[in-house]
């Protein structure tokens, strides 16, 4: 069935990566010095790759649109990073992390990639600690772990609720070290606008200096995109305001297949929308589900305060429906369960689009333990709550503060109100085992690629994948390609391919400026987001998707005739930046709907209402849909489907059950 080659090495699953590493062609040190690699993006996947490739001796150029590589949105990841260390002696292993990830991804990820990810996971923790990343420790001085959804072991390493920040600052420090040594040239406030292809191979990029508006041409023997996910296609998401799909989309238009675009992760625990002014949504870390219990009232339209609803009138619906995993079911399952309760009329808060996340029971339990440590026997409830609150504060203080700041409510006293929100995109540029896209010499790492999470990503696995790709996978796999490029001299950027790519980029900028329409870029972005959330969000159906495709096409036409971009292209122009990004989001939105419509099954984050079990769980169709949908861009915003068959040789494919 496959018409694309994923280049997975032969041999036993457990030996593939070891064998690959020891047999991959090498580039000798003197040749490395004349080989140039362009890295776009400075998050976990980009910064780690840039630093590592520079350490190995390659000449690296790294680009980010922010004012510093330290600002990339990896910084906002809260909860943690998984690694199969088995430090807790709770039966964890490389195989178990591999198994959990495949199962969590609803059997839509590639076995060989996921096993490799599990194999290198332990190295990541070692590397980060060596860099001085202050991960949480126990009193004995050893590293601490916590639980995350979709697993029954404690394998998540963390730094309070700021794990992404600490890991990114680690990668950033490694990157800055190479910048200081002159081995990486850093281009901040630069946005990639085109991929340059010469004789079918990626040979550079066109970038815009966001301060001066100057268009620059950069050559590279290879180009790596570590440009993150496309959740902002929904306008409201937990992504940063600047997170965008433009680099990946321009690559797509130059021949890189886009895989599984419809797989979107809706995170179950976010702060609910408060009004039309809302510009982004804020996540409350999944780690809170360790200690928080999720519930709604048993009575419909119950308007009492949470504290006035007695215990026996509360429905802990996750614990009821999924006794084995309870509040720690995977994200897609938890999100749909919240939507189900709210749609049925049991939601809370003024919008009725929220459920409670309640810490009271566990605060009291922690308080009892603390009281016992302090020699207080039979402590009263007040003492327990006081002591327990201190423990909760230490574990989640920054998250509780953030909640209080945004909502104006005190979460230590009343339960948090939460609702699902767009958080992560499992889909992305199609890559083979080497992380190379369908364009030779063009690589893609981290969230920007599609490779490891199938149809649903488990919590604390994004940081793991970003750093695995950048520190431990790409630096090896890219050698397979670059070892054949050693005789290629740097191509001068007056080559016609550079000229032509620059003309394409400039053409788009000028068109946007000259439309001089009546509506702002945000106006169009909000409308696109609304269509996507309503018709390609937590639940989709064929009728809605067909409508969405028509509406998005109409929106695209309207955008290109009526958008208003003030200012000029030769200055700092944030509206122009946004306009280019929204133009790409509109095209991507259409592809997401086409992909969702084409996949006549439910799996992970893709829930088609027509395909569900009697209990309302996702119903996969492994006979017809056990493939990666890799879309090729065709002239005039059309798309052609290619299929990569997924073979499960080491895991028995089963209906996912967390009951």
Partner 1 sequence: MSTGNMNLTLKVWRQKNNKTAGALVDYKLAEISPDMSFLEMFDVLNEQLINKGEEPVVFDHDCREGICGMCSMFINGRPHGPKDLVTTCQLHMRSFKDGDTIVVEPWRAAAFPVVKDLTVDRSAFDRVIAAGGFISVNTGNAQDANNLPIPKMQADAAFEAAACIGCGACVATCKNASAMLFVSAKISQLALLPQGQPERYRRVQSMVAQMDAEGFGNCTNTGACEAECPKGISLENIARMNRDFASAKFISEETV
* Of 143 and 391, CB closest to partner 1: 143
Position 26 contacts partner 1 (CB under 8 A): no
Site for partner 1 in 303-362 (CB under 8 A): none
Position 514 contacts partner 1 (CB under 8 A): no
Number of chain positions touching partner 1 (CB under 8 A): 83
x-or-dash pattern for partner 1, window 257-296, by CB under 8 A?
Answer: -----------------xxxxxxx-xx-------------
CB of 142 to partner 1, least distance (A): 5
Helix (H) or strand (E) holding 631: strand 627-634
* Of 123 and 547, CB closest to partner 1: 123
Concatenated DSSP letters for 372-433? HHTT--S--HHHHHHHHHHHHHHHHHHHHHHHHHHHS--TTTSPEEEEEEEEEES-EE---T
SS3 readout for 170-211: HHHHHHHHHHHCCCEEEECCEEEEEEEEECCEEEEEEEEECC
- Contact assessment for residue 135 and residue 143, using Cβ atoms and an 8 Å cutoff: yes
x-or-dash pattern for partner 1, window 396-425, by CB under 8 A?
Answer: -----xx--xx-x-----------------
Q: For residues 355 and 358, give the distance between their C-alpha atoms in angstroms, rounded to a whole number.
A: 10
Site for partner 1 in 37-56 (CB under 8 A): 48, 51-52, 55
* Of 189 and 299, CB closest to partner 1: 189
Counted residue by residue, the chain has a size of 659
Q: For residues 605 and 75, give the distance between their C-alpha atoms in angstroms, rounded to a whole number.
A: 24
Q: Pick the piece of the chain touching partner 1 (CB under 8 A) from 7-15, 96-104, 119-127, 550-558.
A: 119-127
* Of 523 and 643, CB closest to partner 1: 523
**Catalytic residue (choose from 96, 203, 331, 417):** 331
Is residue 331 part of the annotated active site? The answer reads: yes
CB of 487 to partner 1, least distance (A): 27
Q: For residues 341 and 338, give the distance between their C-alpha atoms in angstroms, rounded to a whole number.
A: 5
Position 438 contacts partner 1 (CB under 8 A): no
Site for partner 1 in 517-536 (CB under 8 A): 520, 522
Among 12, 138, 534, 640, binds partner 1 (CB under 8 A): 138
- Determine whether 515 is exposed, middle or buried from the number of CB atoms within 10 Å of its CB (0-12, 13-18, 19+): middle
SS3 39: strand
Position 121 contacts partner 1 (CB under 8 A): no
Among 37, 114, 135, 207, binds partner 1 (CB under 8 A): 135
* Of 326 and 349, CB closest to partner 1: 349
Site for partner 1 in 601-640 (CB under 8 A): none
SS3 270: strand
Position 501 contacts partner 1 (CB under 8 A): no
SS3 readout for 283-307: ECCCCHHHHCEEEEECCCCCCCCHH
Helix (H) or strand (E) holding 581: helix 574-598
CB of 282 to partner 1, least distance (A): 5
Tokens 């700092």 correspond to: 572
Among 26, 566, 600, 647, binds partner 1 (CB under 8 A): 566
Q: Which of 471, 493, 474 is nearest to 482 (CA)?
A: 474
* Of 68 and 657, CB closest to partner 1: 68
Position 214 contacts partner 1 (CB under 8 A): no
CB of 417 to partner 1, least distance (A): 13
Among 8, 47, 125, 309, binds partner 1 (CB under 8 A): 125
Position 383 contacts partner 1 (CB under 8 A): no
CB of 394 to partner 1, least distance (A): 9
Site for partner 1 in 226-255 (CB under 8 A): 238, 240-242
Site for partner 1 in 449-488 (CB under 8 A): 471-472, 475
Among 16, 32, 61, 71, binds partner 1 (CB under 8 A): 71
* Of 59 and 108, CB closest to partner 1: 59
* Of 70 and 339, CB closest to partner 1: 70
* Of 43 and 454, CB closest to partner 1: 43
DSSP 3-state percent helix, strand, coil across the chain (nearest 5) = 40, 15, 40
Among 134, 200, 323, 616, binds partner 1 (CB under 8 A): 134
Among 13, 129, 490, 506, binds partner 1 (CB under 8 A): 129
Among 3, 12, 67, 609, binds partner 1 (CB under 8 A): 67
Residue 184's φ and ψ, nearest 5 degrees, are: -125, 130
SS3 38: strand
**HSE of 374, CA atoms in CB hemisphere, 13 A:** 13
Position 88 contacts partner 1 (CB under 8 A): no
Helix (H) or strand (E) holding 479: helix 474-482
Q: For residues 657 and 620, give the distance between their C-alpha atoms in angstroms, rounded to a whole number.
A: 12
Among 141, 375, 492, 496, binds partner 1 (CB under 8 A): 141
Q: For residues 325 and 152, give the distance between their C-alpha atoms in angstroms, rounded to a whole number.
A: 8
Q: Which long-range contacts (CB under 8 A, 24 or more apart) does 383-388 make?
A: 385/360, 388/362, 388/363, 388/364
- Determine whether 496 is exposed, middle or buried from the number of CB atoms within 10 Å of its CB (0-12, 13-18, 19+): exposed
Residues 6+ apart with CB under 8 A from 560: 511, 515, 583
Site for partner 1 in 569-608 (CB under 8 A): 571-572, 574-575
Position 513 contacts partner 1 (CB under 8 A): no
Site for partner 1 in 145-184 (CB under 8 A): 159-160, 162, 164-166, 169, 172-174, 176-177, 179-180
CB of 402 to partner 1, least distance (A): 6
Position 390 contacts partner 1 (CB under 8 A): no
Q: For residues 114 and 226, give the distance between their C-alpha atoms in angstroms, rounded to a whole number.
A: 18
Beta bridge partners of 215: 208
- Contact assessment for residue 107 and residue 117, using Cβ atoms and an 8 Å cutoff: no
Among 201, 504, 564, 642, binds partner 1 (CB under 8 A): 564
Tokens representing 402 are 């953030």
Tokens 């002014």 correspond to: 277
* Of 282 and 650, CB closest to partner 1: 282
CB of 555 to partner 1, least distance (A): 18
From its phi and psi, is residue 125 left (phi > 0), alpha (psi between -120 and 50) or beta? Answer: alpha
Tokens representing 516 are 């001089």
Position 24 contacts partner 1 (CB under 8 A): no
* Of 143 and 390, CB closest to partner 1: 143
Catalytic residues: 331
């Amino acid at each position: 069935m496959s018409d694309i080659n994923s280049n997975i090495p032969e041999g036993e699953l457990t030996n593939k990566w070891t064998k690959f590493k020891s047999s991959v062609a090498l580039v000798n040190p003197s040749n490395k010095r004349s080989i140039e690699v362009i890295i776009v993006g400075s998050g976990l996947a980009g910064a780690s790759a840039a630093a590592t490739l520079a350490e190995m001796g390659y000449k690296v150029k790294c680009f980010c649109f922010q004012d510093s590589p330290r600002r990339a949105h990896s910084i906002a990841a809260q909860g943690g990073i998984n690694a199969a260390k088995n430090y807790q002696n709770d039966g964890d292993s490389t195989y178990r992390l591999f198994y959990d990830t495949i199962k969590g991804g609803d059997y839509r990820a590639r076995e060989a990639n996921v096993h490799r990810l599990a194999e290198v996971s332990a190295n990541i923790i070692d590397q980060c600690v060596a860099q001085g990343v202050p991960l949480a420790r126990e009193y004995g001085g050893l590293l601490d772990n916590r639980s995350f959804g979709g697993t029954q072991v404690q394998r998540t390493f963390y730094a309070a609720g700021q794990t992404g920040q600490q890991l990114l600052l680690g990668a950033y420090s490694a990157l800055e070290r190479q910048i200081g040594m002159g081995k990486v040239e850093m281009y901040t406030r630069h946005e990639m606008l085109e991929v340059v292809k010469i004789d079918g191979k990626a040979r550079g990029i066109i970038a815009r200096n966001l301060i001066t508006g100057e268009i620059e041409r950069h050559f590279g023997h290879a180009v790596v995109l570590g440009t993150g996910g496309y959740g902002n296609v929904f306008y409201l998401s937990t992504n940063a305001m600047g997170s965008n799909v433009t680099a990946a989309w321009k690559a797509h238009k130059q021949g890189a297949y886009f895989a599984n675009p419809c797989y979107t992760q809706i995170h179950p625990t976010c702060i609910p929308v408060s009004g039309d002014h809302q510009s982004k949504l804020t996540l409350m870390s999944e780690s809170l589900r360790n200690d928080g219990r999720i519930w709604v009232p048993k009575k419909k339209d119950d308007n009492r305060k949470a504290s006035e609803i007695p215990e026996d009138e509360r429905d802990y619906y996750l614990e009821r429906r999924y006794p084995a995993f309870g509040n720690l079911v995977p994200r897609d399952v938890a999100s749909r369960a919240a939507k189900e309760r709210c749609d049925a009329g049991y939601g809370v808060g003024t919008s009725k689009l929220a459920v409670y996340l309640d810490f009271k029971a566990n605060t009291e339990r922690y308080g009892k333990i603390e009281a016992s440590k302090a020699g207080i026997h039979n402590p009263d409830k007040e003492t327990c709550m006081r002591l327990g609150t201190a423990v909760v504060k230490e574990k989640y203080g920054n998250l509780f503060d953030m909640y209080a700041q945004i909502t104006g409510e005190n979460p230590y006293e009343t339960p948090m109100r939460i609702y699902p929100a767009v958080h992560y995109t499992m889909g992305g540029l199609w890559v083979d085992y080497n992380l190379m896209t369908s364009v030779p010499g063009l690589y893609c790492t981290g969230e920007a690629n599609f490779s490891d999470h199938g149809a649903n990503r488990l919590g604390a696995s994004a940081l793991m994948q970003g750093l695995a790709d950048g520190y431990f996978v790409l630096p090896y796999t890219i050698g397979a390609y670059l070892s054949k490029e050693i005789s290629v001299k740097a191509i001068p950027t007056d080559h016609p391919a550079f000229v032509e790519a620059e003309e394409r980029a400039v053409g788009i900028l000028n068109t946007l400026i000259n439309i001089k329409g009546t509506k702002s870029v945000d106006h169009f972005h909000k409308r696109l987001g609304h269509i996507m959330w309503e018709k390609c969000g937590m639940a989709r159906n064929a009728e809605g998707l067909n409508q969405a495709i028509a509406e998005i096409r109409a929106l695209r036409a309207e955008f290109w005739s009526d958008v208003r971009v003030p200012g000029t292209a030769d200055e700092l122009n944030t509206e122009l930046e946004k306009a280019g990004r929204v133009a790409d989001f509109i095209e991507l939105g259409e592809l997401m709907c086409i992909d969702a419509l084409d996949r006549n099954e439910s799996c992970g984050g893709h829930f088609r209402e027509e395909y569900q079990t009697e209990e309302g769980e996702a119903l996969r169709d492994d006979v017809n849909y056990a493939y990666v949908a890799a879309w090729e861009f065709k002239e005039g915003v059309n798309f052609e489907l290619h299929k990569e068959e997924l073979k499960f040789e080491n895991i028995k494919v089963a209906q996912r059950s967390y009951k």
